[in-house]
Structure 1
Amino acid sequence: MNASTSPADGGWTDLLQQGTGPVQQSFLDLVKNTREYVGYHPNVIWGDLQTPQYAEAMLRLVVGFHEIPDDIEAGVAARTARAQYIGQNGRSYHVLLGEQALLTNIGGADVMRGQLQHLLKATALPGLTLGIVPARAPLRIYPGDGFSLFDDHRAEVEGYRGAETITDPARLQVFRKAFALLQPSAVYGQDALDLIKATIAST
C-alpha cells in the first residue's frame, strides 16, 4: 500500500480512502527499503508474486467492499512492481503460503491457472524461500491471520478492517513465534512444486 499520510502513525484507513494506488505505492516504498522479509499468507497469493490479472481481480474486490475510488490500474502497477526487488542486492524473502491460497478463486479459472503457473516459475527466484502449508498438515499453532515482517522490526497485518502496522517489540515477538511454529508444517522444493502442479491440474 509513500503518501502524505504515514501508515506507521495509523494512517492506513485514511490512505485507503484515496484509492488503491496510494496504498499500494506506500507498500511498494516499504518493500523497496526492506532487506529481509518474512511472511505468512494462508488464504491468498502473496502480493509480491501476484500476476497483473490476479492483482486486478483482488483489488476490484477491495474497491467494491470499501467503496473507495476505482483507480485499479494504478494499484495493480504499484503492487506488481514489488516483484522487481526479489533477489536484488542480497534481499531475502521467506514466505509461507497456506494450501488454501492456491485454491481461493480470485478472478476465475483462467486467472487462477495463470497465477499458479507464475508461482511455479517464481520458486526458482534467487533470494526467495517459498513454503506451502498443506491443508492436512499437522499444525503446532492454531490458525490465525496472515502477516508480514519487514526487517524484523515492523509487522503488517491485513484484514477486513484494513491494514495494521505493529512496531512494539513485544507484539512483534508474537509473529516471530507464530512463524517459527508454522514453518515445520510447510513443504518446500519439489514437494511444494508437486502441490502447485496438482492444483493446476484440477483448476
Structure 2
Amino acid sequence: MATAPSSADGNWDDLLQQGTGPVQESFLDLVRKTRHYVGYSPDIVWGNLQTPQYAEAMLRLVVDFHGIPDDIQAGAAARTARAQFIGQEGRTYHVLLGYQALLTNIGGPEVMRAQLHRLAEALSLPGLTLGIIPARARLQIYPGDGFSLFDDRRVEVEGFRGGETITDPARLALFRKAFDRLQPSALYGGAARELIETALSGT
C-alpha cells in the first residue's frame, strides 16, 4: 500500500488523491535520505524488493480501493526504484517478513513466482539482512501491523486507514522494542531460503 509522506511534503490523503505516483515519489525521497532502516512486513513483500509486476498489482488494489487516479505505472516505477539504494554508500537494511508475505496472492501465480525468486536472490544482497518468521514460530510479542523505522527517527505505519507518520521519541522506542522482540523468531540465510522454496513449490 501507499505510505505517508512527511508533514513537510503534505498530507498523505491529499497526495494519495493525486494518484500513487506522488506518494511513491515522496517515499522514494525518504528512502534516499535514510542510512539505517529496520522494518517488519507480516503479510506482503517489502516494497524495496517488489518486482515491477508485483508492485503494479499491489498498487492496482490501492487505486481500486481508494478510487484515485490510475497512474499505476508511475507509482510502480517509483516504488521499485527504492531497490537501487540497497548496499549503496553504507546504507543498512534489516527486514523481517512474516511467512504469510510469501503466500499472500498478489497478482496471480506467475507474479508470485517471479517475486519469490526475487526474494531468494535478495538474500545475498550486500547491506541487506532479510529474515523470515515461520508461520509456526513462537513469538515474543503479540502480532501487530507492519512498520518501517528510518534512522530511528521516524516510523511509518500503514493500513486501510491510510498511512501514519510517527516521530515522537517515546513511540519510536516502542516500535524499536517490537522489532527487537520479533527478530529472534526469524530465520536467515539458508533456512530463510528453504522457506522461500517451500512457498515456491506451492505456487
- Range of TM-score over shorter length: over 0.9
Distance 2:174 2:7 in 1: 19
CA shift digits 1:82-117 (9 cap, x unpaired): 000000000000000000000000000000000000
TM-score by length of 1: 0.96
Does residue 41 (structure 1) correspond to residue 45 (structure 2)? The answer is no
TM-score by length of 2: 0.96
Q: Tell me, what secondary structure is at the counterpart of 1:23?
A: helix
> Relative to structure 1, is the Cα distance of residues 72 and 99 closer, same or farther in structure 2, using a 3 angstrom cutoff?
same
Does residue 76 (structure 1) correspond to residue 37 (structure 2)? The answer is no
**Alignment partner, residue 91 of structure 2:** 91
**Alignment partner, residue 137 of structure 1:** 137
1:9-24 matches, cutoff 5 A: 11-24=11-24
Does residue 56 (structure 1) correspond to residue 56 (structure 2)? The answer is yes
Aligned residue type for 2:7 = A
Aligned positions, number: 200
Aligned residue type for 1:16 = L
Identical-pair percentage: 72
> Relative to structure 1, is the Cα distance of residues 85 and 142 closer, same or farther in structure 2, using a 3 angstrom cutoff?
same
1:1-203 matches, cutoff 5 A: 7-8=6-7, 11-203=11-203
Aligned residue type for 1:50 = Q
Aligned residue type for 1:8 = S
Q: Tell me, what secondary structure is at the counterpart of 1:145?
A: coil
Q: CA deviation at 1:161?
A: 1.2
CA shift digits 1:37-89 (9 cap, x unpaired): 00000000000000000000000000000000000010011000000000000
Q: CA deviation at 1:202?
A: 1.3
Distance 1:127 1:101 in 2: 21
CA contact (8 A) 2:5 2:165 kept: no
Distance 2:46 2:167 in 1: 21
Aligned residue type for 2:97 = L
Distance 2:108 2:69 in 1: 24
Q: CA deviation at 1:6?
A: 5.8
Distance 1:25 1:129 in 2: 25
Gaps of 5+ in 2: none
Distance 2:177 2:54 in 1: 30
Distance 1:6 1:21 in 2: 12
Q: Tell me, what secondary structure is at the counterpart of 2:106?
A: coil
Distance 1:115 1:198 in 2: 14
> Relative to structure 1, is the Cα distance of residues 6 and 194 closer, same or farther in structure 2, using a 3 angstrom cutoff?
closer
Aligned residue type for 1:41 = S
Gaps of 5+ in 1: none
Distance 1:158 1:8 in 2: 16
Task: Report the aligned-residue RMSD.
Answer: 1.2
Q: CA deviation at 1:167?
A: 0.2
Q: CA deviation at 1:198?
A: 0.9
Distance 2:6 2:187 in 1: 34
Distance 2:13 2:29 in 1: 18
Distance 1:8 1:32 in 2: 17
